[in-house]
Structure 1
């Protein structure tokens, strides 16, 4: 993907913005388009109310690129959240959120051992679960090392962009 030019990237951004405007102006809930540039070079875009997901061709390094973006919580917020665990789990310090719309799988295949369980120690980058989006299995890595405190989703459940998946402290 590093051979993409700035002009191609700018064109992709303009294309995604146009799709979002089309979604809004026609009161649609979702648009999905595949734009092919050549062999092994394409852009697959799905724009849905509540989030935008852009998917590039899967490569071995792709799971790291799909890592959830979780902002570090200030110390005061972390202390108050630890004292009061009620509230929105997505706002909890250590929350791992979904980077895309899809279906969650807690293990690699049906009947196998889950990637993690409550109480497990995880290393940064360790696979926590899989989110299937557009028939592509996306491994979701741990954004930091810690202990799995809560798993907030069930195996096979649909998730939205930004939905809390688990809490690691």
Structure 2
């Protein structure tokens, strides 16, 4: 790669970052083809800062009896809020569409209760017309599948739990 093409690539990436900010996008991905065996794949992601607003408080009618709800532990509440924080969570390495089977009408790669080996394909995430196999990070049992076939997924979102 020449110095000139490197400088052009840097300018291209900077332009993508500016486009991201100017249009209030959180992510942009582009593949730039230079020739048959030469390309540049760029993915620019902006981390959004999320500020949680307090939940509104509603008063129960005076005549309605209050049922005692079981107290949830903070760890259980956090796990319900973010499945990606659960032990054994398999997260998406990219933004795309999740597919549970290799092709429409075929049986799923795995189902709940299946034992999987490290590296075994769990599902496919299609991004930019490329089918990316998602391997099991470790051996274990599929405890939960958190996505549906054909569902869009975000980077870092939990796909399934393998323990």
TM-score using structure 1 length: 0.66
Report the counterpart of residue 142 of structure 1 in structure 2. Answer: 136
Report the secondary structure of 2:32's partner residue: strand
Aligned mate of 2:148, from 154, 157, 160: 154
1:22 aligns with 2:16: no
Change in 2 beyond 3 A, CA 1:50/1:128: farther
Aligned mate of 1:165, from 151, 159, 162: 159
1:124 aligns with 2:124: no
Contact 1:29 1:49 in 2 (8 A): yes
Change in 2 beyond 3 A, CA 1:32/1:93: closer
Change in 2 beyond 3 A, CA 1:40/1:29: same
Shift of 1:95: 0.6
Report the counterpart of residue 92 of structure 1 in structure 2. Answer: 86
1:38 aligns with 2:25: no
**Structure 1 CA distance, aligned partners of 2:141 and 2:45?**
33
RMSD over equivalenced CA pairs, Å: 3.2
Structure showing greater radius of gyration is 2
Report the counterpart of residue 71 of structure 1 in structure 2. Answer: none
**Structure 1 CA distance, aligned partners of 2:6 and 2:114?**
40
**Structure 1 CA distance, aligned partners of 2:16 and 2:84?**
28
Report the secondary structure of 2:17's partner residue: helix
Shift of 1:50: 5.5
Report the counterpart of residue 56 of structure 2 in structure 1. Answer: none
**Structure 2 CA distance, aligned partners of 1:98 and 1:85?**
17
Aligned mate of 1:101, from 77, 95, 105: 95
TM-score using structure 2 length: 0.68
Shift of 1:29: 5.2
Structure 2 residue ranges without an equivalent (≥5): 49-73
Change in 2 beyond 3 A, CA 1:98/1:47: same
- Segment of structure 1 superposing worse, 152-161 or 9-18: 9-18
**Alignment length, in residue pairs?**
137
